[in-house]
Structure 1
């Protein structure tokens, strides 16, 4: 049994995680601990506070007791708002607190794109434009080229959590560009796992979503590869996209 640990802020799209655990169909356990979200606002100051060491530390004891072997801070905006170096320090602090390998959803997107051999990406963000721009900057530092970007301007995770298939598909299609090798949807408050096959069929290219890449990152930290095509191209055994 491989036990993956996740620190997840608040309660919006967290039911994607038991769904992923079911779809993995193997000896993988997904342990989710909720952290205090503080102010629910896609604003840089609020997001930096949400990802502060103190808030992450509060959830770590419960996660350690669960027997988790790796930990991922399952929040994209609460990591990339620190910039590349700041997000690295956040992960290092998390690893020290946890006593286990650690990462965050922001780094998971970069690692997942590299896994697929993807360099040119389109971003469909639920966030306001300024916050979405910070994610694009983060990806560029990670070696990716952001060829298109779409912002939905949503201020709260609570509102994002109400989105269903139609809204998610509309966002992905609006963000896509012909030159993009993959489309990225960076918000762990967004339910996407049930729609991964539909998204990739509609766009005819890999789609990487926040909760999907978070679990993949946990598996990567645990040195596990799981073939689960229902979770998208990322969870097939061989990368399907070449640079």
Structure 2
């Protein structure tokens, strides 16, 4: 049995995790602990407070008791707003507090892009323009070529959580770009676990979404690999061997 722990801010699309757990198989558990979201706002200062070391550390003990072998901060904007170095410091502090391998959704996106061999990505974000631009800058700093950024201007996770398949498909279509070989939907408040096959069929290319890559990142930390087509190309692609 492999247990993978997640710290998830507030209550938005956390039901993606039991849905993914069902798809992964009976020997993988995905225990999730909610952290204090504070002010629900896609605004840099609020996002920095949401991702503070104290708020993350508060949920660590419960995850340890769950038997988790690795922990991921299941939040994209609450990590990339710190920039590459700040996000690395955040993950290191989380790993120290938990005594476990740790990562965050922001780093999960960069690792997943490399895993599927993507060369150019387009970002289809729920965020306002300035926050979406911070995500693009974060990825570029990690060597990911971003060819387009589409921001939707949504200010709260609560609103994002109300979106269904029509809105999600529309977001992906609007954010796609002919030069992109992969489209990224970076918000863990967005329900995407049930829509990955439809997203990839609609765009005709791989799609990486926040909760999908977060779970994949935890599996990577635990050295587990699962083939599950219902979770998109990321969960079926053979790993790229770096030469």
TM-score, normalised by the number of residues in structure 2: 0.97
Task: Indicate conservation of the 8 Å contact 1:119/1:143, yes or no.
Answer: no
Q: Which residue of 2 aligns with 1:217?
A: 217
Q: Is 1:165 aligned with 2:165?
A: yes
Q: Which residue of 2 aligns with 1:101?
A: 101
- 1:135-158 deviation per Cα after TM superposition (whole angstroms, max 9, x unaligned): 000010111111011100000000
Q: Is 1:72 aligned with 2:47?
A: no
Residue aligned with 1:193, SS: coil
Number of residue equivalences: 240
Task: Indicate conservation of the 8 Å contact 1:105/1:213, yes or no.
Answer: yes
Cα offset for 1:27?
1.1
**Residues in 1 aligned to 2:179 and 2:99: alpha-carbon distance in whole angstroms:** 42
Task: Indicate conservation of the 8 Å contact 2:121/2:146, yes or no.
Answer: yes
- 1:25-54 deviation per Cα after TM superposition (whole angstroms, max 9, x unaligned): 241100000000000000000000000000
- Gap change, CA 1:105 and 1:204, over 3 Å in 2: same
| Structure 1 runs, 4 residues or longer, greater than 2 Å off | none
**Residues in 1 aligned to 2:45 and 2:70: alpha-carbon distance in whole angstroms:** 28
Q: Which residue of 2 aligns with 1:176?
A: 176
**Residues in 2 aligned to 1:179 and 1:76: alpha-carbon distance in whole angstroms:** 24
**Residues in 1 aligned to 2:226 and 2:157: alpha-carbon distance in whole angstroms:** 29
Residue aligned with 1:174, SS: helix
- 1:49-94 deviation per Cα after TM superposition (whole angstroms, max 9, x unaligned): 0000000011111111111000000000000000000000000000
**1:33-72, aligned counterparts within 5 Å?**
33-72=33-72
Q: Which residue of 2 aligns with 1:200?
A: 200
Task: Indicate conservation of the 8 Å contact 1:226/1:237, yes or no.
Answer: no
TM-score, normalised by the number of residues in structure 1: 0.97
- 1:86-132 deviation per Cα after TM superposition (whole angstroms, max 9, x unaligned): 00000000000000000000000000000011120000000000000
Q: Which residue of 2 aligns with 1:134?
A: 134
Can you give the 5+ residue segments of structure 1 that lack an aligned partner in the other structure? none
Task: Indicate conservation of the 8 Å contact 1:124/1:186, yes or no.
Answer: yes
Can you give the 5+ residue segments of structure 2 that lack an aligned partner in the other structure? none
Q: Which residue of 2 aligns with 1:27?
A: 27
**Residues in 2 aligned to 1:2 and 1:164: alpha-carbon distance in whole angstroms:** 31
Cα offset for 1:237?
4.6
Q: Which residue of 1 aligns with 2:152?
A: 152
Residue aligned with 1:162, SS: coil
**Residues in 2 aligned to 1:239 and 1:167: alpha-carbon distance in whole angstroms:** 31
CA-based RMSD of the aligned residues comes to 0.9
